Structure 1
């Protein structure tokens, strides 16, 4: 069940972008977009569109299918489906569409609605998932440049999923971060230092977490031990 604050942020997206009505004809590249693709996005009310209706459009939006106003019309539903991985298109692609559509030049209330949603989504992710999602974390950072907010939300509690995500990050992504591999190379110097400081400060939870789970969940206790080893030897 989606928490109340995330649900409110989604409703705010619908409200904010409601002025962008669907065009009767949305132009698509004839080589890439079929008549059936165009029919699907007109087949239902916006909130009723599902993966099979919207995924093709979401993947092709702006580049070969429709314009910015078309994208703004569908954006609330695209983001809503993306939250629980019900879109069939990756987070990386959709965040790239926002950048391609120059969302930082959109109306201020539109930008704010997106930011509120993104941080509520990050909070929701930390509460329910057991792995670190690099595309989501880095994608939100890249769009907002607000590492402080991301880390403020990611408050570590060894009894909660946010700790599991932290352990997974250390085990599988910490070396990439300190070596500035992949997307992590694009962190600015100040935010890089803030993130590293946060990682080190929260490493104190690893030992306590290991003893907490040693007899309750031996598999996870081993994961914690592996994460501690990576942290201490990187």
Structure 2
């Protein structure tokens, strides 16, 4: 199932989460009556990023079951917009935060699997861009976006190993050279947290896995040998990364 098919499937999976004419949003200072009305009266597939932002995402959190229900109602459209790099929240990093995936009890397995599949397919799409995606974000932003919302990053990282493109390698190069450093035990560690301790550990374990390093080293070696159009800076950076991976 490709990304477009998965999004279409999400409209079926989350179709039961219907809403009324009012939402569980802050009406005192965050969301106006007119913005709320514009959002709830627009067919789900036609809702714009601005309507979602002003009528829902700009509201303070209530952390209620009703808020989560409403988030699930809007979720297929959010997934669709994000797949086109149209961000309905104030920042890319927080767009999925309201899913409250830290509480898995509120998520049926079918819904969790769809979100996991989406995270992998969307991340793979992001890997096709370097240095920035169409919404001017780098690959670390998307890792933070999913991690902050308590997605499991392990399937995403595993997919990164399988994508065999120059752009994917350049994203990996940028991620390692700017976002990590060696500790006293000569292990790569993160310079900055990804908002979830479990995911931070998953990233560090992945970076230091000998099979992962060997896999990326093999790809880099092939690119250096076969791609004669690399500029000097890129060639030197990839060569340096390759040396780090075999340490």
TM-score, normalised to structure 1, is: 0.79
Tell me if 1:170 matches 2:171.
Answer: no
Q: What's the counterpart of residue 25 of structure 1?
A: 22
What is the CA deviation profile of residues 28-67 of structure 1, one whole-angstrom value per residue up to 9, with x for unaligned ones?
3211111232122124210011112112345235705972
- Report deviation, 1:141: 5.2
Q: Is the 8 A contact 1:41 1:57 kept in 2?
A: yes
Q: What's the counterpart of residue 217 of structure 1?
A: 230
Q: What's the counterpart of residue 36 of structure 1?
A: 34
Q: Is the 8 A contact 2:92 2:142 kept in 1?
A: yes
- Report deviation, 1:101: 8.0
Q: Is the 8 A contact 1:167 1:224 kept in 2?
A: no
Distance 2:73 2:202 in 1: 36
Map residues 70-81 of structure 1 onto 2, 5 A cutoff: 70-81=70-81
- Report deviation, 1:77: 0.5
- Mind listing any 5+ residue stretches in structure 2 that lack a counterpart? 132-137
Structure with more of its chain in helix, by fraction = 1
Q: What's the counterpart of residue 95 of structure 1?
A: 96
- Mind listing any 5+ residue stretches in structure 1 that lack a counterpart? none
DSSP-derived class of the 1:175 partner: strand
Q: Is the 8 A contact 1:23 1:70 kept in 2?
A: no
Q: What's the counterpart of residue 203 of structure 1?
A: 217
Q: Is the 8 A contact 1:154 1:162 kept in 2?
A: yes
Say how many residue pairs are matched.
Answer: 226
DSSP-derived class of the 2:96 partner: helix
Q: What's the counterpart of residue 84 of structure 1?
A: 84
Map residues 44-83 of structure 1 onto 2, 5 A cutoff: 44-60=42-58, 63=61, 67-83=67-83
